[in-house]
């Protein structure tokens, strides 16, 4: 029997990618437009970061999030909205005097990191269950900080998506579920692969991490850059859901930039269908995620 | 054909374990004696931390390291010495003011972290290629810090053991080799398993990490607590070297504290021999690791 596979589209991310692909959306309007076209192409979930419209750099400003969410909802688009809570965990040390935060350190409180979630009540928000070297600089999310964020997020009726980047992160996420800090009968895991220095994007690491998940977990996985499509196929075969988008990958094929998020989603649709599964609609995704009416912002907006 | 398997013994570590097992060595004399005993039982490498003799807590005092090293060398024991450079990367974030480093943070410069290596010139020292939640604490070792430490250590003629606790850390360590920051043509990886929140102490994790290693890598692996002996067996079967010791595990069997490091090493010898391999002596270990006399 064919299985509905949920496609998430990570429409823009927070990395400095605008100069690498001009199709990367920057303003709230552009981001909302990309969400709508990703949805038309088959995405049931939109994973959203915002950017400063003047600089193109990552932003944490609640008003930008509110504008994106309002534009999507006003368009009567029922896509499941997933806002990031990643920014605010960038730690930099001064190597010569390491007790001083170095330049580029951006460490925020739990309240600051979820303010846009409390304000906009999306269906889902991400929670980075990860302390790791994220490229050159550490991303630091201590278990204490995660507990505080989880509490604030769940009190707002928002479902956390547990983003994990390596094997040990799965163990910590499992611990948060087991101890009730994540109180969700269908805990949602996102296995993020291929980001230096996290787990590599390979069928072996995805399989290992999948095998560690609790029985009632819902999971998705993605690989970045050239591993985006191979990992769509792998997750589909292994029983998970998938994610594509310009946050993770700027190319449709080697040397050829993607024209927008819709093109990446269309490719994921092709892969899923060719394997013999079908693409989940937003309402099927809501059912799979166990999203109740209470945190369905589409209903609330009507 | 039987293979020579190197046993490392991690003598004492830096955790507050003295109250959990009174056999944990604390003074430089106790630590040196435990290393000598471990060698007599079959260990070819002693992995060494030091402790404040008064409080039994972890210390970075180079004088304590010097006393341990001198005592072992003066005894005529040839065991390879592997000093830790782990302490100095602990970050405790204050939730309400995350730019303040809360009490308990312990961040040192690269020079401070390897002072005892510069002074003592052991055969080997560790390098924790890791940023992770280490139980409730965050351990941070940035790229800049790791590069600087590696570039200071190798010209001393000291071999680096890259300690990695998860698959991504292994990837970063391999990248340091690829970039030539670590120049060793037999790069040594230690796969540390079962520490929350790192890679699990399972055969699957160990195998996944082994399969990611550069072709010229030498590797060892260990699991902590009750996974110590199962991971000895796994590493032997998968072609790696092994580590036991009171840093990683305080028990000989369920509920039965070990009276010292020696019985843990003896158990590793039993496992290795019963599988059909044999414990490497110090000369064999030098040869495998490319450490000159």
Please state the domain count of chain B.
1
Nearest to B145 among A95, A166, A167 (CB): A95
- Host H or E run for residue A233: helix A228-238
Would you say A59 and A51 are in contact if contact means Cβ atoms under 8 Å apart?
yes
What are the chain A neighbours of B97 within 8 Å (beta carbons)?
109
- Higher confidence at residue B89 or residue B133? B133
What range defines the domain where residue A208 resides?
Answer: 4-301
**Closest C-alpha to A198, from A131, A244, A142, A106:** A131
Would you say B144 and B179 are in contact if contact means Cβ atoms under 8 Å apart?
no
* Interface size, chain A vs chain B, as Cβ–Cβ contacts under 8 Å: 146
| Tens digits of residue pLDDT in B188-243 | 999 999 999 999 999 999 999 999 999 999 999 999 999 999 999 999 999 999 99
Count other Cβ atoms within 10 Å, centred on residue B259: 12
Q: Looking at residues B130-142, what average pLDDT do you find?
A: 93
Separation CA A169–CA A142 (nearest Å)? 11
What are the chain A neighbours of B169 within 8 Å (beta carbons)?
133, 166, 197
Looking at every residue in chain B, the average pLDDT score rounds to 96
The pLDDT assigned to A301 comes to 43
The pLDDT assigned to A294 comes to 47
CB contact under 8 A, A169 and B197: yes
Q: Which residue in chain B is spatially nearest to A171 when comparing CA positions?
A: B197
CB contact under 8 A, A95 and B97: no
What are the chain B neighbours of A96 within 8 Å (beta carbons)?
109
Instruction: State both tokens at B261.
Output: 């490091």
Q: Is the pLDDT of residue A18 over 70?
A: yes
Q: What is the pTM of this model?
A: 0.93
Helical segments of B166-275, H only: 167-178, 203-210, 228-238, 262-275
Q: Does A104 touch chain B (CB under 8 A)?
A: no
Would you say B138 and B92 are in contact if contact means Cβ atoms under 8 Å apart?
yes
B 93-152 → A contacts, CB under 8 A: 93, 95-99, 101, 105, 107-110, 131-133, 136-138, 140-145, 148
CATH of the domain at B54: 3.20.20.70
Which DSSP state fits A226?
Answer: G
CB contact under 8 A, A171 and B196: yes
What are the chain B neighbours of A196 within 8 Å (beta carbons)?
168, 171-172, 175
The pLDDT assigned to B105 comes to 82
**How buried is residue B275: exposed, middle or buried, by Cβ count under 10 Å (0-12/13-18/19+)?**
middle
Q: Does A106 touch chain B (CB under 8 A)?
A: no
Please state the domain count of chain A.
1
B 204-223 → A contacts, CB under 8 A: 204-205, 208, 211-212
Classified as helix, coil or strand, A97 is coil
Would you say A158 and A123 are in contact if contact means Cβ atoms under 8 Å apart?
yes
Give the rounded percent of residues in chain A with a pLDDT score beyond 90.
89
Nearest to A142 among B93, B167, B200 (CB): B93
The pLDDT assigned to B277 comes to 97
CB contact under 8 A, A166 and B168: yes
Q: Does A168 touch chain B (CB under 8 A)?
A: yes
How distant is the Cα of B90 from the closest Cα of chain A, in angstroms?
10
Q: Which residue has the tokens 């101890």?
A: A179
Give the rounded percent of residues in chain B with a pLDDT score beyond 70.
99
Q: Does A14 touch chain B (CB under 8 A)?
A: no
What are the chain B neighbours of A138 within 8 Å (beta carbons)?
131, 138, 140, 142
Phi-psi region of A161 (alpha: psi -120 to 50; beta: other; left: phi over 0): beta
The pLDDT assigned to A82 comes to 98
The pLDDT assigned to A295 comes to 46
Separation CA B79–CA B91 (nearest Å)? 34
What are the chain B neighbours of A93 within 8 Å (beta carbons)?
107, 140, 142, 144-145
Radius of gyration of the CA atoms of chain A, in A: 18
How distant is the Cα of A198 from the closest Cα of chain B, in angstroms?
4
CB contact under 8 A, B205 and A142: no
Separation CA B10–CA B69 (nearest Å)? 15
Q: How confident is the model at residue A293 (pLDDT cuts 50, 70, 90)?
A: low
Q: Is the pLDDT of residue A124 over 60?
A: yes
**Closest C-alpha to B159, from B2, B3, B6:** B6
Tell me the sheet residues that pair with B81.
Answer: B46
Question: H helices then E strands: how many in chain A?
Answer: 10, 18
Give the rounded percent of residues in chain B with a pLDDT score beyond 90.
90
Residue A5 CA from chain centroid, whole number: 16
Separation CA B44–CA A29 (nearest Å)? 65
What range defines the domain where residue B99 resides?
Answer: 4-289
HEC per residue, B36-87: HHHHHHCCCEEEECEECCCCCCEECCHHHHHHHHHHHHHCCCCCEEEECCCC
Instruction: State both tokens at A151.
Output: 């509490």
Report the relative pairing of strands B188-193 and B218-223 from DSSP bridges: parallel
Strands (E), A172-295: 188-193, 218-223, 241-244, 251-253, 256-257, 278-279
- Host H or E run for residue A31: helix A28-41
Residue B236 CA from chain centroid, whole number: 17
| Tens digits of residue pLDDT in A126-178 | 999 999 999 988 999 999 999 999 999 999 999 999 999 999 999 999 999 99
Tell me the sheet residues that pair with A50.
Answer: A59
CB contact under 8 A, A208 and B99: no
The pLDDT assigned to B90 comes to 85
Nearest to B136 among A92, A143, A169 (CB): A143
CATH of the domain at A66: 3.20.20.70
Looking at every residue in chain A, the average pLDDT score rounds to 94
A 128-157 → B contacts, CB under 8 A: 131-133, 135-138, 140-145, 148
Q: Which long-range contacts (CB under 8 A, 24 or more apart) does B256-263 make?
A: B257/B21, B257/B23, B258/B21, B258/B23, B259/B23, B260/B23, B260/B34, B260/B37, B261/B9, B261/B11, B261/B25, B261/B34, B261/B35, B261/B37, B261/B38, B261/B41, B261/B43, B262/B34, B262/B37, B262/B38, B262/B40, B262/B41, B263/B41
Would you say A271 and A245 are in contact if contact means Cβ atoms under 8 Å apart?
no
Instruction: State both tokens at A278.
Output: 């079908």
Q: Which residue in chain B is spatially nearest to A93 when comparing CA positions?
A: B142
Separation CA A171–CA A153 (nearest Å)? 21
b (16+ CB within 10 A) / e for B142-160: bbbbbbbbbebbbeeebbb
Report the relative pairing of strands B132-134 and B188-193 from DSSP bridges: unpaired
| Tens digits of residue pLDDT in A83-107 | 999 999 988 777 677 767 777 788 8
Residue B219 CA from chain centroid, whole number: 12
The pLDDT assigned to B291 comes to 98
């Amino acid at each position: 029997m064919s299985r509905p596979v949920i496609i998430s589209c990570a429409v823009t991310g927070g990395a400095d990618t605008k100069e690498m692909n001009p199709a990367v959306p920057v303003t709230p309007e552009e981001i909302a437009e990309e969400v709508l076209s990703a949805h038309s192409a088959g995405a049931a979930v939109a994973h959203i970061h915002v950017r400063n419209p003047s600089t193109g750099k990552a932003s944490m400003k609640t008003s930008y999030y509110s504008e994106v969410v309002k534009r999507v909802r006003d368009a009567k688009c029922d896509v499941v909205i997933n806002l990031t809570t990643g920014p605010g965990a960038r730690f930099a040390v001064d190597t010569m005097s390491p007790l001083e935060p170095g330049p580029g350190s951006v460490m925020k409180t739990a309240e600051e990191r979820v303010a846009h979630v409390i304000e906009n009540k999306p269906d889902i928000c991400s929670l980075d269950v990860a302390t790791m070297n994220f490229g050159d600089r550490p991303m630091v999310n201590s278990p204490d900080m995660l507990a505080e964020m989880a509490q604030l997020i769940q009190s707002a009726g928002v479902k956390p998506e547990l983003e994990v980047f390596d094997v040990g992160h799965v163990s910590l996420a499992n611990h948060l579920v087991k101890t009730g800090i994540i109180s969700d009968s269908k805990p949602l895991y996102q296995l993020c692969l291929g980001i230096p220095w996290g787990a590599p994007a390979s069928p072996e690491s995805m399989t290992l991490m999948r095998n560690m998940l609790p029985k009632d977990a819902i999971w998705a996985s993605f690989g970045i850059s050239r591993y985006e499509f191979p990992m769509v196929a792998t997750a589909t075969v292994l029983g998970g859901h998938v994610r594509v988008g310009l946050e993770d990958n700027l190319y449709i094929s080697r040397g050829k930039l993607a024209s927008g998020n819709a093109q990446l989603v269309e490719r994921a649709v092709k892969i899923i269908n060719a394997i013999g599964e079908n693409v989940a609609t937003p309402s099927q995704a809501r059912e799979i995620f166990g999203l109740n009416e209470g945190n369905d912002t589409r209903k609330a907006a009507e | 054909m039987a293979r020579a398997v190197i046993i490392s013994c991690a003598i004492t570590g830096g955790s507050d374990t003295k109250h959990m097992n009174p056999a944990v060595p604390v003074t430089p004399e106790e630590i040196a004696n435990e290393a000598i005993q471990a060698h007599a039982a079959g260990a070819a490498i002693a992995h060494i931390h030091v402790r404040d003799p008064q409080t039994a807590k972890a210390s970075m005092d180079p004088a304590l390291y010097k006393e341990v090293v001198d005592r072992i060398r003066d005894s005529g024991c040839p065991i390879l010495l592997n000093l830790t450079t782990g302490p100095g990367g602990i970050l405790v974030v204050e939730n309400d003011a995350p730019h303040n480093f809360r009490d308990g943070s312990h961040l040192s410069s690269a020079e401070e972290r390897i002072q005892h290596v510069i002074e003592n010139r052991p055969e080997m020292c560790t390098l924790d290629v890791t940023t992770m939640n280490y139980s409730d604490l965050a351990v941070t070792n940035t790229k800049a810090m790791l590069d600087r430490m590696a570039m200071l250590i190798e010209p001393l003629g000291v071999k680096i053991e890259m300690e990695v606790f998860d698959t991504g850390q292994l990837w970063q360590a391999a990248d340091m080799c690829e970039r030539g920051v670590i120049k060793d043509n037999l790069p040594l990886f230690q796969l540390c398993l079962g520490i929350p929140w790192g890679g699990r102490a399972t055969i699957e994790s160990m195998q996944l990490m082994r399969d990611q290693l550069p072709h010229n890598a030498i590797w060892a692996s260990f699991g902590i607590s009750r996974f110590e002996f199962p991971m000895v067996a796994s590493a032997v079967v998968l072609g790696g070297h092994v580590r036991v010791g009171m840093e990683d595990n305080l028990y000989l069997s369920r509920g039965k504290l070990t009276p010292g490091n020696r019985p843990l090493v003896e158990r590793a010898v039993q496992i290795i021999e019963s599988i059909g391999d044999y414990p490497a002596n110090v000369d064999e270990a030098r040869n495998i690791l490319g450490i000159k006399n």
